[in-house]
Structure formats: C-alpha cells, structure tokens
Amino acid sequence: MTAPSVDPRDAVLVDFGGVMTTSVLDAFRAFGATFGYPDLPITLLSTDEIARKLLADHESGRIDADAFDNGFAERLRAHGADVDPGALSARMQSALARDEATIELIQGIRAAGVPVALVSNAFGRDCYAGFDLTALADVVVISSEVGIRKPSRRIYQIACDGLGVQPNRAVMIDDLRQNLDGAARLGIAGVLHTSAEDTGRQLAERFRIG
C-alpha cells in the first residue's frame, strides 16, 4: 500500500455546518420527510434556478431569513409540497446537532499552536446559536457579513489574510467538494470531511497537522 504524500501546512480553514455539526444534507432530508418529500429540499437547492438564487442571495446577506423562507416555501409548493414558510430555515436545520468529536479535534489543533479560521456560509437566523465561534477559531469569516460565499476564492483569501498566512500553506476542511474546489484555486489543500477520525488522520498523515 502506497503511503500518502506529505505536504506540510501551517494553518487550517474549517467549515461550520456539516463539520462542527452533524450533516446538513441529512437535516434537510429529515425536514423534507416531514411533508413526504425527503429529497425535494436538496434537489431544489441544487437544480432549481430560483431556489439556487434564493440560497445564494441569503448566504451572501442580500436577503434575510424571512425572504428566503417565503421564497423557498413558494418553490416547494410549486413542486407539490404545501409548506408553511414560518421559520422554515430554522425547521430545515432542526435535526442538526453539535459534532463534539470534530470540535475537540479543532480545539486540539489550536492548542498545538496551529492557527484556525472558521469559514462558513450563513443560513437562517440562528444557525450559530449555542456555539462560541471565537472559542472555536482565531478568525471567523461568515458569508453574510462579508457579502461573499463559498466557493468564491475571495472568502478564502479573507480568511488567510486574517490568519496572516499564504493560501499555499493552508488546509481547508469542508463536507462539500465544491467548496474544496474553490479553495484549491488559491492553492489551499483540501480535506473532505466525513468524520472527525478520518479528518484527523488526513491532517496528521498528509499535512503534519495535529
């Protein structure tokens, strides 16, 4: 078995939803299941142009949660699901829980002296409730606050600038491949997150982090 190539890096960028928490996609499916269409929310957010624009505008801070909720409820109704728009984005995330193992992993990385930036696409009104983001990362970059969302290269550059590191010295941890592809355009290495154990192993073996 060939040993993984080693590419030592000095800093970590990390996603929030689906990394610091359980799977966002699973939460969206659980929400869809409540009205009999488990895959419809993800399908619309992936393929429906109106729903995709609603998500992009919301994550970038151009529309608020209420505007997203009302607009997305209309798209769901257009595809056969009669859904109340009230607190819809909160209900979409109601199945999310903290991923304590990953949080512990990131805390250990910081304790070892590796700088960490949280790079997150905001969603809903209270998606960070219950989390002290400043205790999780040295730099916090939220899409709705900077007006840029992943996978734009600019949001990763903001994070690297905040940490004072060059992109080619950083690693991005994310549960979505397209976000890692965006970071790679700056030279940021990627770890596709599936579990704390696997991410910790990749950081140690591939990048000598942790």
Q: Which helix (H) or strand (E) holds 173?
A: strand 170-174
Q: Which helix (H) or strand (E) holds 91?
A: helix 88-92
Name the β-bridge partners of 11. Answer: 170
Round to whole Å and give the CA distance between 198 and 195: 5
Give the relative orientation of helices 65-78 and 49-59 as an angle to the nearest 10 degrees.
Answer: 170
Structural domain boundaries enclosing 183: 11-22+97-207
Q: Do both 180 and 88 map to the same domain?
A: no
Query: What is the value of pTM for the model shown?
Result: 0.95
CB of 167 within 8 A of CB of 185?
Answer: no
pLDDT tens, position by position, 43-65: 999 999 999 999 999 999 999 99
CATH number, position 186 = 3.40.50.1000
pLDDT tens, position by position, 99-152: 999 999 999 999 999 999 999 999 999 999 999 999 999 999 999 999 999 999
pLDDT of residue 5: 85
Q: Do both 87 and 144 map to the same domain?
A: no
Q: Do both 102 and 202 map to the same domain?
A: yes
CB of 138 within 8 A of CB of 117?
Answer: yes
Q: Do both 170 and 196 map to the same domain?
A: yes
Would residue 4 count as lying in a domain? no
Residue 12 in tokens? 């970590």
Mean pLDDT computed over every residue of the chain: 96
